[in-house]
Structure 1
Amino acid sequence: MKMAANGRFFTIGIVASWYSSNIGVLLLNKYLLSNYGFKYPIFLTMCHMTACSLLSYVAIAWMKMVPMQTIRSRVQFLKIAALSLVFCVSVVFGNISLRFLPVSFNQAIGATTPFFTAVFAYLITLKKEAWLTYVTLVPVVTGVVIASGESWVG
């Protein structure tokens, strides 16, 4: 019983840390790019990616939080490289957008990601999600549309 409670608190702590660090990075990037006048969003992305790589290595190799994995084939390497490139481009464009958009609008647009992921997954792989998945995403997108419309009007 005590082990389960400890595991639950650990999970809550990890999620809270992840959430806090995401907010911190977003606000710091917004401050540097908009308020401070820093003009190098790609440099910020490079710092972000370097820190993620180093901290991930520490967590895997030294702290043994998850087992080390090896790349088994050239195809797997190319898939990982493509995913890394797409993620990097996403972070660069996200950082660039912070110069022109309020953080709240940036986060609202980000909230639509699960909806578009489900739609594009269907269009690309023809794999359907459960109908309940699509139904639960409609209010999220509707809320973002309403909030976005108000931010443009008001």
Structure 2
Amino acid sequence: MGDPNPWATVGAVISWYGSNIGVLLLNKYLLSNYGFRYPVFLTLCHMSACSLLSYVGVALLKVVPQQSVNSRAQLVKIAVLSVVFCFSVVCGNVSLKFLPVSFTQAIGATTPFFTAVLAYLISQKREAWVTYATLSPVVAGVIIATEGEPSFNILGFIMCVSATAARAFKSVLQDILLSSEGEKLNSMNLLLYMAPIAVVVLVPATILMEDNVVEITLNIARKDTKMLWYLLFNSFLAYFVNLTNFLVTKYTSALTLQVLGNAKGALAVAVSILIFKNPITTIGMVGYGLTVLGVVVYTEAKKRYS
């Protein structure tokens, strides 16, 4: 399951950390500090880059063997996943307009909680009671972090929780919809088919929700040429996050990816505080720490009792 060259694994993990944290911080900078308040258009840029680069990577360069869509029913399932994915990314970007990265990471760490609940409600998939018990500190940590968050914003909070729940919903749906052997797609091939559908969904959404955003963006770019470079680099990173995520899973395992993800979240919090200097309280840090600890314990319990 692992790659025989340990340096390839180390390189993939470092690249995954760098691209993941980079796109998160750049999103925050653009949407909050820079004042580019168009999260739907930003998501459209991400998905457009993912469409193009996925085609180049999979169809042309053969980074992974290309898998085909076998039926109209499978395509419909992929389209459903794409819409849910779009919703999660847009909500996540909207939340960054109002909340500091540290707080969004605390909420995002509750993804296992939503995944476990939705898996039970939708597909009656049950875990051992010990596994469910370990989710208590995950939720308690977010409640504590919310109480201690000086920059709390109710709209940002709702958007962030919605994004987290939608990510979990996509994960559960993916297991259900693409569970048969003939329909299984690896993450890079799934992105190849999801990204263009996401673009089709996001174009009218952008026109309806963010009128004249292209003209506004070009006007900003005429005054500050760095704007276009920010968007291009950010969009490239969005694809690179998916590529490195796939490579880390390939070289290690899905469980290792979860563990590394917990550490990545903590690192993203530390870096964001250093860069944006957002106020953070001791109570907030205790809450976030409790959430991360709960996720670690949950991961271990799931490994033992599943």
TM-score (norm 1): 0.86
Which one of 112, 115, 120 corresponds to residue 113 of structure 2? 115
What root-mean-square deviation, in Å, do the aligned CA atoms of Structure 1 and Structure 2 show?
2.0
Give the structure 1 partner of residue 97 of structure 2. 99
Q: Using the TM superposition, name which of 52-61 and 92-101 deviates more.
A: 52-61
Q: 1:13 to 1:132 in 2, by over 3 A?
A: farther
Segments of structure 1 that go 5 or more residues without pairing to the other structure are: none
Larger RCO (CA under 8 A, 6+ residues apart): 2
Deviation at 1:58, TM superposition (A): 2.4
Which one of 138, 141, 149 corresponds to residue 140 of structure 1? 138
Deviation at 1:129, TM superposition (A): 2.7
Give the Cα separation in 1 of the matches to 2:123 and 2:144.
30
Q: Count how many residue pairs are aligned between Structure 1 and Structure 2.
A: 150
Q: Using the TM superposition, name which of 16-25 and 133-142 deviates more.
A: 133-142
Q: 1:58 to 1:129 in 2, by over 3 A?
A: farther
Deviation at 1:131, TM superposition (A): 4.0
Helix, strand or coil at the partner of 1:38: coil
Helix, strand or coil at the partner of 2:74: helix
| Deviation readout 1:102-148 (Å, 9 max, x if unpaired) | 11111111100111111111011101134454344333333232222
Give the structure 1 partner of residue 51 of structure 2. 53
Q: 1:38 to 1:124 in 2, by over 3 A?
A: same
| Deviation readout 1:69-91 (Å, 9 max, x if unpaired) | 11111111011001011101111
Helix, strand or coil at the partner of 1:99: helix
Q: 1:97 to 1:63 in 2, by over 3 A?
A: same
Q: 1:131 to 1:14 in 2, by over 3 A?
A: farther
Contact 2:58–2:64, Cα closer than 8 Å, also in 1: yes
Letter in 1 for 2:46: H
Give the Cα separation in 2 of the matches to 1:35 and 1:114.
30
Deviation at 1:61, TM superposition (A): 2.1
Letter in 2 for 1:83: L
1:1-154 matches, cutoff 5 A: 4=4, 6=5, 8-152=6-150
Segments of structure 2 that go 5 or more residues without pairing to the other structure are: 153-280, 282-306
Letter in 2 for 1:21: S
Deviation at 1:57, TM superposition (A): 2.1
Helix, strand or coil at the partner of 1:37: coil
Give the Cα separation in 2 of the matches to 1:60 and 1:82.
22
Give the Cα separation in 1 of the matches to 2:75 and 2:55.
18
Give the Cα separation in 2 of the matches to 1:110 and 1:34.
19
Q: Which runs of 4+ in 1 moved over 6 A?
A: none
Share of identical aligned residues, percent? 68
| Deviation readout 1:42-98 (Å, 9 max, x if unpaired) | 110011111222222222123322210111111110110010111011111111111
Helix, strand or coil at the partner of 2:86: helix
